[in-house]
Amino acid sequence: MSNRSKAFHCNVFILNCYDRAMKKIAVLTGAGISTSAGIPDFRGPDGVWTQHPDQMSVYNIDRFMGNKEDREYSWRWQKESPVWNAQPGAAHRALVDLEKAGMLTLLATQNFDALHEKAGNSSDVIVNLHGTIGTSHCMRCGKEYKTADIMEHLDETPDPRCTRMIPANGDIKERPCNGILKTDVVYFGEALPDGAMEKSMRLATRADEFWVIGSTLEVFPAASLVPIAAQAGVPITIMNMGHTPYDSLATRLISEPIQTALPALVADTIAGR
């Protein structure tokens, strides 16, 4: 074998060893990662629903589907909420760096603010356990809409309806669907997106580390990812400003501000420290 061929095979061997040594990190994010982006949490001591429990009705599927006034209020509340206009912060961008380094295999999020998408994480790793405000669908025919387009015309159309034209069928002429539009946030009374928990469990149990970032771990089934990963022998990191019910399962607890602590953790992980 020539020296050139030996060098080539040596380089391939080194790259393969590097790939095998690369840590696989699975992440679950909660409201705490977005508070620094100006979005208040929902269930904390000063959370939106703690202070104003009546506003939980904004995301009640029965009231949304059954009453025009409730539907209009829900749309208006969502447009005026900080969730809609928020921009990703340093913590969100750190997870983009982790993905670019080839180490992020799962980004399961309880948040529906679409900030992980805005920051630049890919759909390959993101699992929106509670849906997303970024897209909407017709509840009759299933047509997808960009929520931004709906919000742009909400003043003129406070109860948005589907504009998809239904093809003519016999004596029935072509007509608009006119179905109710709803954001792809999972409302109370709705099931989680198909396959979301199954994919999250599979990737969490196959990871080298499982990080929980800014979640109180009080909402199920998302919180169950921690004991499932722990039972599989995956080391758990919990980064949260308050205690969680699963702190005892963590091999590392971090209670520093997430907007600084997460970028530091990501940088150290990429550097192999």
pLDDT value at position 19? 46
Contacts of 80 (CB under 8 A, 6+ apart): none
Task: Give catalytic residues, as residue numbers.
Answer: 130
CATH class of 47-85+133-185: alpha beta
CATH 3.30.1600.10 residue spans of the chain: 47-85+133-185
In CATH, the number for domain 23-39+89-130+193-273 is: 3.40.50.1220
CATH 3.40.50.1220 residue spans of the chain: 23-39+89-130+193-273
Give the span between the Cα atoms of 33 and 41, in whole angstroms. 10
pLDDT value at position 173? 73
Kindly give the confidence (pLDDT) of every residue in the chain, 273 residues in length, as a single tens digit, with 9 standing for 90 and above: 555 554 445 454 444 444 446 899 999 999 999 987 878 765 555 555 445 455 567 889 999 999 999 999 999 999 988 888 889 999 999 999 999 999 999 999 999 999 999 999 999 999 999 999 999 999 999 999 999 999 999 999 999 999 999 886 766 677 889 999 999 999 989 999 999 999 999 999 999 999 999 999 999 999 999 999 999 999 999 999 889 999 999 999 999 999 999 999 999 999 986
Tokens for 98? 């982790």
End-to-end CA distance of the chain: 38
Read off the pTM: 0.83
Cα dihedral 167, 169, 174, 178 in deg (nearest 10): -80
Phi, psi of 150 (to 5 degrees): -70, -45
Contact 130, 190 (CB under 8 A): no
